[in-house]
Structure 1
């Protein structure tokens, strides 16, 4: 009896399963209604069919890598940006950027600062022979700040360079003697230089013309002393040996750029003998040979640099024979 009931129940369950499956197969799928794509009667002129062919016209700009000038808000919407206010913009046509880089000018200031630190120590040392080295270093420092002040382009300390130029030029002119007064002045320049490199502004509120009056900035003799101080013991040996050239190429490039700058300064209006064509030709020879060494450093061409160094040696000898002072 129980077995019969179990069989009947199984048949009923099987029948229900078959019926459910059949009903599921006959159920209509749910229709999903979607929005129809838009239809346009004519092409929309707002967009280009091919942006590169239709949207770009004319020659490709040659200055795509140059950053856009900074802009500042003027407080109202005028519809056009306003260039950020600038300080000293240099002297148009100065030509310094073709001879010396901003990095070299900054390094020169820092290197001269170290020399001044060791030269301006005590009044007695300064009175002995320290004032002579100080005159040389302050003269080159004044020249460097003069170049920075006239530089066409961004370079560190440009805003304060004209005032710094005049301060160091005055101290260099006074440092023909080693008196206590000159020592005190030199010590003040040393402290100002420390503050300037450290990020302070010791020349704030002091203004001067960016364009230098070169006869008042420096004299020939201290600049020539700097050339001698670098050429014989340092630069000349490095340009005579391929191994030294490779090992000191960055320092050679820096010194060569400064040599080129000094060659240009020596021929500036107001400098001694700058009105003599024979003399300015020697200055140009120094400048051009130094520039050749700079280019050789950039391509690591020792032979080219060595050949140019011979021209520097010749220009030095010829200049000393006729114009040493």
Structure 2
């Protein structure tokens, strides 16, 4: 060992000794003292003064029920018109529509707000269908709250809500689709999807997407699955036209047109599942005739 260096053990002893001296030299604060008057405000035993049973904080909190906007009288039969996988796919497609419409604030202000509003209103409907479906549907447990949230969001956007509000909606929905469980960003109630929103989506189905699958055999082979999706969704939209409070929903003739459309759309979906192009084309014509007759009587 080099001259002048102390062994390690000696150094440790020295440090410990110094630490002990410092600790013993430190002064501790004196405990507080209270007068009899001050002591009178305290209980000798706080638990003895409590009344009733102590709450069980380990139990899960009860979720508060959330009202959903009125639905058609036959809402319990959603499974008759649309399969669980179609509900899930349409929710994802509307989420993509919102993402596209809110890609930037200028795009949103230039017209994307309308697309966002319509998509939010349709999501309000689709989450309601998910909540009430008789088959297990993804997001079914949280669907009631999201149905209300999207109905409220559609109303807010239609009233001029800022871009940041739509952004929050988009981001929360994206998290939900990815598998997270975010809180719905909009808590205000809204009305069911209005007739204008429903009609625009129906016209997209009957005027573009379904005819595109029936152009020829090749398009049918590639598009039969899409035809099934659009047809089942069309049946649900026709049923949604009869929701309480919507214009003409209590008119018997109008309701008859809606039911004709619903049945024709259901037939189209069945044909698509069986890959029967001829039957699907016939059913689409029935859908279009029902729409045209209704428009003649109610649009003038």
Do these two structures clear the TM 0.5 threshold for a shared fold by scoring above it?
A: yes
Which residue of structure 2 aligns with residue 194 of structure 1? Answer: 174
- Unmatched 5+ stretches in structure 1: 1-87
Which residue of structure 2 aligns with residue 121 of structure 1? Answer: 103
1:241 aligns to 2:216 (yes or no): yes
Distance, in Å, in 1 between the alignment partners of 2:296 and 2:102 is 32
C-alpha change, 1:157 and 1:207, in structure 2 (3 Å) is: farther
**Cα offset for 1:226?**
1.3
Aligned alpha-carbon RMSD (Å): 2.8
1:152 aligns to 2:134 (yes or no): yes
Which residue of structure 1 aligns with residue 250 of structure 2? Answer: 275
Greater CA radius of gyration, 1 or 2?
1
Higher relative contact order (CA 8 A, sep 6+): 2
Distance, in Å, in 2 between the alignment partners of 1:93 and 1:121 is 35
- Unmatched 5+ stretches in structure 2: 1-64, 66-70
Give 1:1-325 correspondences, 5 Å limit. Answer: 94-177=76-159, 179=160, 181-203=161-183, 216-324=191-299
Runs of 4 or more off by more than 6 Å in structure 1? 204-208
**Cα offset for 1:206?**
10
CA contact (8 A) 1:135 1:176 kept: yes
**Cα offset for 1:112?**
1.1
Distance, in Å, in 2 between the alignment partners of 1:118 and 1:206 is 20
CA contact (8 A) 1:165 1:217 kept: no
Distance, in Å, in 1 between the alignment partners of 2:261 and 2:226 is 18
The secondary structure found in structure 2 opposite 1:310 is helix
CA contact (8 A) 1:132 1:176 kept: yes
**Cα offset for 1:123?**
2.3
| Alignment TM-score, normalising by the size of structure 1 | 0.65
The count of residues paired between Structure 1 and Structure 2 equals: 231
